[in-house]
Chains A and B, each alone.
Chain A
Amino acid sequence: MKSSGNIKRSLVSGIKKISIWTFFLSLLAVSFVIFLTQSVLPVSSDSQDLHRLAGEQLALNGRGKIPACVPCHGLQGQGNAGIASPRLAGLHPEYIKKQLEDYARNPLKTRAFVEPIARDYVKTPRTYGDLTVFTPGTRYAPKMNELAKILSVDDRHNLAIYYSKLAFVASPKAYDFETLERGEDLALRGKPEYGLPSCDSCHGPGGQGFGAIFPPLAGQPVTYIIAQINQWQAGKRDNDHLALMRNIADQLTDGDKVNVAAYYDNLSYSVNSE
């Protein structure tokens, strides 16, 4: 009798244990299924292809009020040096998306007109450490500002996916020796005696870009690179991370811009191609 009671008790407790374990197991299974549906499915190649196709459709033909991207950025997204429009093929999708968001932002609503740095060029000017404000960033380009405002979130995503998957092969151009030598010195070593870091230390070796924050310089039209540095100096573009590029652009002379842009235009560079 005693033993059978023990058996009964142990059976009951076993069932209890089993039920607890099944509960935990079911929780695990459910969380695993959720993990699958949430993280694996959205990045599957099929949906990427769908985004890419939708982006291609929009880039080639436009839609309604949205004009096509091709006339300015080229059939293969290679950019147009004549009108200083950038290459988009092979850029990081997050970078393209961020730029479109920044184009769409209204600068009047976000920018507070507080001059953060007292620009009296004495030995040690003072900046106000407690007025560090992280602005979301704006970028001035009349055509793109209007265009980006009518793009939906999905449109931006599709375009970013489409252009990031395009292949691009740069065609290096010839420049005179002195320009290239000075450009290389700036690109690899910067101007240390002025506190200016090299371009390659952030934009990657050979200016090939690094991650979502640092875009490639190689393969971009010379006119585009110079125009962007000019925009930073004029304060028309301020969507860089921690205002790093603004500080650097302030240090560049007109000669530096030409030399370094020529150096990167002289490099061979390819992306997404065999």
Chain B
Amino acid sequence: MKRFFLKWVLIFSFYNMAVLPVAAQELGQTLDSLEVRPSLVNSRLSLPTQLTQVHVISPGEYFAPPLVADIPDDRFGDMVRMGRNIFIKTGVYAKRYAGNGLNCSSCHLQEGRKPHGIPLWAAYGRYPMYRHKTRTVVTIEERIQDCFIYSMDGIAPTLDAPEMKALVTYTKWLSKGAPVGVDLPGRGLPNVSRTQDLDPKRGKIVYEIRCEFCHGKDGKGQKHTNGEGYMFPPLWGRNSYNKGSGLQRVRTLAKFIKGNMPLGASFSLTNQESLDVAIYIWLQDRPRNPKMSQAMDFFFPNMAR
């Protein structure tokens, strides 16, 4: 009797493992489940009710930084070129300060030029400024140091380091002609209003539809085909920004996602969707805040600062 039972268990498990998937493939069924496609789960064929505000840019609305081809051919231009190299390939040109796989241009999109993508030209004229995080007035050099400590998860370059000089020179050249002390349109990130209704489960669905094909199923990004550096930057894991960085704040990340992601379809996510994705990403593991002890990080892994 026992033998008989075991035999059928074996046969059943074999059937489940071997025959069913093959049969499904032969029938030509696609294996994508309904759970990841909310538009199919609750099909909404009624009149549209949710209205999304989409950003349309008119000519001259945003500051246009100078072209790379117009970098002067002198010592100043050399410094600008060095700064640009560091900015777009931080792991190569500022290797001793970079701690993870990101570049400056992973967050400051399009070489620090994109409005609503934390553009450099809008930031340069605002420093020195009071910063709530440190409760002090910081210069742009100190702000860049913080970028290296938190977002790059590395070591802060000293104020007289050539890398620091090059980055500040590049920022200054990029904001040529921009007014000083003025909030330019496109500064920083767009606004996303506060809400208490966050759901990482919904965020996971949005992630699978709109983020996964670039940033990967495990959120670890995708490397270049030659294996050097990241084509699509990691969102969490060892090679991503640490828990002390600005993007670890859920609303800041939601603002970034809404204004810039996916590339080429900015402002296509609603506030709710971007907040949901943001909290889904916030829940993942990443390097600890260097200003926080290892024990605190172990017991309170998601306490940002």
Contact = CB atoms under 8 A, between A and B. Distances in A.
Interface in A57-106: none
A48 B171 CA distance: 52
Contacts of B110: 189-190, 192, 197-198, 201
Contacts of A132: 39
Contacts, number: 123
Interface in A92-149: 117, 121-134
A51 B20 CA distance: 25
Nearest to A126: B51
Contacts of A122: 56
Nearest to A244: B264
B58 A123 contact: yes
A181 interface: yes
Contacts of B225: 204, 208, 210
A254 interface: no
B227 interface: no
B193 interface: no
Interface in B91-148: 109-111, 113-115, 117, 119
Interface in A189-238: 189-190, 192-198, 201-202, 204-205, 208, 210-211, 213
B305 interface: no
B262 A242 contact: yes
A167 to B, nearest CB: 16
B56 A202 contact: no
The main secondary structure of chain B at its interface with chain A is loop
Contacts of A247: 264-265
Contacts of A174: none
A30 B16 CA distance: 12
B222 interface: yes
B231 interface: yes
B161 interface: no
B177 to A, nearest CB: 13
B6 interface: yes
B56 A128 contact: no
B33 interface: no
Interface in B8-57: 10, 13-14, 17-18, 21-22, 28, 37, 39, 44, 48-57
Contacts of B62: 192-193
Interface residues of A, number: 51
A117 B56 CA distance: 12
A226 B226 CA distance: 28
Given A123-B56, A128-B48, A242-B210, A204 B263 contact: no
A3 interface: no
Contacts of A38: 18, 21-22
Contact of B69 (A117, A185, A195): A185
Given A134-B39, A192-B115, A128 B10 contact: no
B295 interface: no
Given A31-B17, A193-B62, A130 B50 contact: yes
B10 A185 contact: no
A34 B265 CA distance: 43
B75 interface: no
A213 B17 CA distance: 30
Contacts of B53: 124, 126
Contact of A189 (B55, B113, B115): B113
B1 interface: no
B132 to A, nearest CB: 28
Contacts of A117: 54
A171 interface: no
Contacts of B21: 38
A195 B51 contact: no
Interface in A5-41: 23, 26-27, 30-31, 34, 37-38
Contact of A130 (B6, B49, B58, B119): B49
A133 B39 contact: yes
Nearest to B6: A23
A153 interface: yes
Contacts of A201: 110, 263
Given A26-B10, A37-B18, A127-B54, 10 more contacts: A30-B10, A117-B54, A128-B51, A185-B68, A185-B69, A197-B264, A210-B222, A244-B265, A245-B264, A247-B265
Interface of B: 6, 10, 13-14, 17-18, 21-22, 28, 37, 39, 44, 48-58, 61-65, 67-69, 109-111, 113-115, 117, 119, 209-210, 213-214, 222, 224-225, 231, 262-266, 270
6 contacts: A34-B14, A189-B113, A192-B115, A208-B225, A210-B222, A247-B265
